[in-house]
Amino acid sequence: MEGADRFQMLIPEDRIQARIAEMGRQITQDFQGRDLVVVGVLKGAIFFLTDLVRRIDLPLAMDFLGLSSYGDATESSGVVRITQDLSRPIVDQDVLVVEDIVDTGLTLAFLRENLLARRPRSLRICTLLHKPSNTLREVPLDYVGFTIENRFVVGYGLDYEQRYRNLPYIGYLPLPQAPAG
């Protein structure tokens, strides 16, 4: 793929899939006897969601929500807008939100409040990646795939200016070292 050779490997495909299998088993246990609504945040979480639901052995429905945060390509502004809403109400449902990455937490804090106002029976949050060093808002994360350092990552759904989502692994762009002092 054009440009893909510029990326350093952070998490290879087999590690991603192994971790997703574990998360699927955990979610299956935790929601025994329940009927789940899995809510994916477009577009980045699509890849993770489709792999994850195939590892969850429960009756479930899927729905999707589009969010857009104003700001530049690599920083979240915290001003979030719903660009595409869920297709059905979630009142009295057990909802599992699936995100690609939690960075500052601002996007998820907004989403959580918005969804809680719709009165689900329960709301849990699952993210493939978490970058705790940038936290501005603490949001309870029930399932975290990998905790990573403060690097801008792409691949497996994550984009830089809408590109590189289709890399099968998670990589990062090596930045030039800042001069010492």
- Positions in the binding site for ligand IMP (CB under 6 A): 44, 76, 99-108, 152-154, 158
Among positions 44, 120, 155, 157, the unique one binding Mg ion when judged by CB under 5 A: 44
Separation of alpha carbons 133 and 43, rounded Å: 24
Separation of alpha carbons 26 and 162, rounded Å: 31
Distance of closest approach, residue 62 Cβ to ligand IMP, in angstroms: 18
Distance of closest approach, residue 59 Cβ to ligand IMP, in angstroms: 28
Indicate the residue among 94 and 100 with the shorter CB distance to ligand IMP.
100
Q: To which residue do tokens 């502004």 refer?
A: 77
Q: Which of 88, 84, 21, 31 is nearest to 60 (CA)?
A: 31
Indicate the residue among 58 and 131 with the shorter CB distance to ligand IMP.
131
Among the options 14, 72, 103, 142, which is catalytic? 103
Q: To which residue do tokens 């990998």 refer?
A: 146
Distance of closest approach, residue 123 Cβ to Mg ion, in angstroms: 18
* Inter-helix orientation angle 13-30/46-53, to 10°: 60
Residue nearest to Mg ion (CB): 44
Distance of closest approach, residue 92 Cβ to ligand IMP, in angstroms: 27
According to the 3-state scheme, what is the secondary structure of 60-126? Answer: EEEEEEEEEECCCCCCCCCCEEEEECCCCCCCCCEEEEEEEEECCCHHHHHHHHHHHCCCCCEEEEE
Asked about 103 being catalytic, the answer comes back as: yes
Could you tell which of Mg ion, ligand IMP, none binds residue 158, using a CB distance below 5 to 8 A set by kind?
ligand IMP
Q: Is 105 in the site for Mg ion (CB under 5 A)?
A: no
Could you tell which of Mg ion, ligand IMP, none binds residue 97, using a CB distance below 5 to 8 A set by kind?
none
State the DSSP code for 160.
B
For the annotated catalytic residues, the residue numbers are 103
